[in-house]
């Protein structure tokens, strides 16, 4: 990969993360100069990254005027969760016994992590740590599937859905999320992919409902 491409990918990852975590608020102006300076790169790869992010519906570019963080509609929230409800359980359903066995150490590690996770304070930092663990949980499970096209698509949906949780800090039932994750892991460790898929569908539906209520 060329240095120019590296710079573009760096900018792409940085801006996307800033938007998803709401460090860049919906509707806010994106300052190309500031991003380039923060990443120690030129403005060109930042502009190229923003063009791609416009295609992915993260930003809106008004030619020769400004680039802003795209606002999220309730319909978009529903669309993302509906897509996850179709794809994520299917990926889990299609996991093979061989995939479970190959990833048993990962599943055991996730189970230990989620058995110990607790929010000890209502601080923003503690909540964000929880969200990072939530993202890791879902992405690692779908990446157990060998279909890279499906897993990449689903991982992006999972990542996009995180934005709604960052916008609704402290308005979610994290203890419920923890119990549901442990239930999904129990089914997977036992090799019951069908039950894990059905429970994942329920889990996503609950997350969708909580996000809509938070809106």
Q: What is the pLDDT of residues 142-172, one digit of tens each?
A: 999 999 999 999 999 999 998 888 887 655 6
Closest to 178 (Cα-Cα) out of 115, 95, 102: 115
Q: What is the pLDDT of residues 96-137, one digit of tens each?
A: 999 999 999 999 999 999 998 876 667 778 888 888 999 999
Closest to 162 (Cα-Cα) out of 181, 138, 186, 197: 138
Q: What is the pLDDT averaged over residues 20-43? A: 93
Q: Which residue has the tokens 């934005």?
A: 163
Closest to 207 (Cα-Cα) out of 145, 134, 152: 134
List Cβ neighbours of 189 (8 Å cut-off, separation of 6 or more): 100, 104, 107, 108, 111
Q: What is the pLDDT averaged over residues 12-41? A: 94
- First-to-last alpha carbon distance for the chain, in angstroms, is 41
Half-sphere exposure at residue 50, Cβ-oriented, CA atoms within 13 angstroms? 22
60 bridge partner residues: 68
Q: Strand, coil or helix: what is 62? A: strand
Rounded to an integer, what distance in angstroms lies between the CA atom of residue 188 and that of residue 194? 9
Q: Domains of the chain, with CATH numbers?
A: 3-69 (1.10.10.10), 74-214 (1.20.120.530)
Rounded to an integer, what distance in angstroms lies between the CA atom of residue 207 and that of residue 200? 10
- What percentage of residues in the chain have a pLDDT greater than 90? 71
Q: Strand, coil or helix: what is 43? A: helix
Closest to 14 (Cα-Cα) out of 60, 62, 70, 53: 53
Based on its alpha-carbon atoms, the radius of gyration of the chain, rounded to whole angstroms, reads 18
């Amino acid at each position: 990969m060329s240095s120019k491409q590296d710079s573009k990918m760096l900018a792409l990852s940085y801006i996307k993360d800033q938007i998803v975590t709401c460090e860049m608020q919906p509707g806010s102006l994106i300052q190309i100069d500031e991003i380039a300076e923060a990443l120690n790169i030129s403005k060109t790869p930042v502009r190229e990254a923003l063009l791609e992010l416009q295609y992915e519906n993260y930003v809106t570019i008004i030619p020769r005027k400004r680039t802003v963080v795209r606002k999220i509609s309730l319909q978009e929230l529903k669309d993302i969760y509906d897509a996850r409800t179709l794809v994520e359980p299917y990926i889990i359903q299609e996991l093979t016994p061989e995939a479970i066995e190959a990833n048993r150490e990962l599943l055991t590690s996730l189970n230990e992590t989620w058995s110990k996770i607790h929010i000890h304070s209502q601080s923003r930092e503690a909540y964000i740590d929880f969200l990072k663990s939530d993202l890791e949980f879902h992405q690692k499970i779908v990446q157990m599937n060998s279909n890279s096209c499906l897993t990449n698509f689903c991982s992006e949906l999972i990542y996009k859905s995180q934005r709604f949780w960052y916008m609704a800090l402290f308005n979610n039932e994290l203890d419920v999320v923890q119990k549901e994750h442990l239930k999904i892991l129990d089914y997977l460790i036992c090799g019951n992919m069908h039950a894990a898929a059905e429970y994942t569908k329920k889990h996503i539906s609950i997350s969708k409902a909580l996000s809509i209520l938070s809106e």
